[in-house]
Amino acid sequence: MTTIADNLQGVLARIAAACAACGRDPGEVTLLAVSKTFGPEAVREAAGTGQRAFGENYIQEAVEKIALLQSLPLEWHCIGPIQSNKTRLVAANFTWAHTVDRLKTAQRLSEQRPADMQPLQVCIQVNLDGGATKSGVAPSAALGLAREVMQLPQLRLRGLMTIPEPAADFAAQKATHLKAKALFDEMREAGVPMDTLSMGMTGDLEAAIAAGSTMVRVGTAIFGTRERLSAKA
């Protein structure tokens, strides 16, 4: 059986190889370890290897874990849907929120961010596939939302985030990720100061890096297969 530490090394090696294959510096790509459904001990083991950034989907589960691990210098990223009744918990407990896709959510996060904390670092989630039930703003609405978010005092806009539909092969994965990269570049040229493109997971991180991802969110390849697909919401 491999350990979390071995798995993390393996993922870092995948990131390094993917960067080498497209001539990028591995220092440009941050690994976000997605620890949803895994307990605090798994996070502690990963943190022991130097991993700092952890991603969580289920707010209530995350808040408990964050409290238990308060003594570690970790950075927590909210990557799950943010319902209105959860914005206060997100604002008070996380360093980043990747899944902002409505102005109302952004406003609540800014209002509820405790004054003694740094601004919440946010990404706008973009829906590139057009799937009707998926969260994320339409690409055509991303620039408008970004400009509104930039006005909110307790938020700091960092970039875009996407969760594409699973695609069959590298070329198809990369094609979708390239759409995100094109939107990212377009928005930056339009004057939105962003440095983060959050895309790529266990199954498609190489394609995401080839397309320009700066943050890959990896769960399964680090912690193993999840048993509960949706636990405490």
Ligand X SMILES: *Cc1c(COP(=O)(O)O)cnc(C)c1O
Residue 106 makes contact with ligand X by CB under 6 A: no
State the helix-helix crossing angle for 103-112 and 139-149, rounded to 10 degrees.
30
Residue 49 sits at φ, ψ, to 5 deg, of: -90, 0
Is 127 or 154 the residue whose CB approaches ligand X more closely?
127
In whole angstroms, what is the distance from residue 194 CA to residue 159 CA? 5
Total site size for ligand X, rule CB under 6 A: 12
Q: How far is the CB of 161 from ligand X (least distance, A)?
A: 8
Instruction: List the one residue from 53, 141, 220, 224 that touches ligand X (CB under 6 A).
Output: 220
Structure tokens at 192: 């939105």
Residue 128 makes contact with ligand X by CB under 6 A: no
How many C-alpha atoms does 107 have within 13 Å on its Cβ side? 5
Q: What's the sign of the alpha-carbon dihedral 110, 113, 119, 122?
A: negative
Residue 79 makes contact with ligand X by CB under 6 A: yes
Q: How far is CA 194 from the centre of its chain?
A: 14
Is 38 or 184 the residue whose CB approaches ligand X more closely?
38
Is 147 or 220 the residue whose CB approaches ligand X more closely?
220
Is 98 or 181 the residue whose CB approaches ligand X more closely?
98
Q: State whether residue 161 is helix, strand or coil.
A: strand
Is 62 or 152 the residue whose CB approaches ligand X more closely?
62
Structure tokens at 79: 């990557």
- Please report where in the chains the tokens 């408990």 appear, as a residue: 64
Residue range at the interface with ligand X (CB under 6 A); choices 45-53, 139-147, 149-157, 196-204: 196-204
Q: What's the sign of the alpha-carbon dihedral 208, 214, 219, 221?
A: positive
Per-residue string for binding with ligand X, 140-169, x by CB under 6 A? -----------------------x------
Q: How far is the CB of 123 from ligand X (least distance, A)?
A: 11
* Cβ partners under 8 Å of residue 100, min gap 6: 82, 106, 109, 122, 123, 124, 125, 145, 149
Residues 199-218 that bind ligand X (CB under 6 A): 201-203, 217-218
Residues 43-72 that bind ligand X (CB under 6 A): 57
In whole angstroms, what is the distance from residue 195 CA to residue 190 CA? 14
In whole angstroms, what is the distance from residue 180 CA to residue 199 CA? 9
Residue 135 makes contact with ligand X by CB under 6 A: no
Instruction: List the one residue from 34, 42, 78, 106 that touches ligand X (CB under 6 A).
Output: 34
* Residues binding ligand X (CB under 6 A): 34, 36, 57, 79, 163, 201-203, 217-220
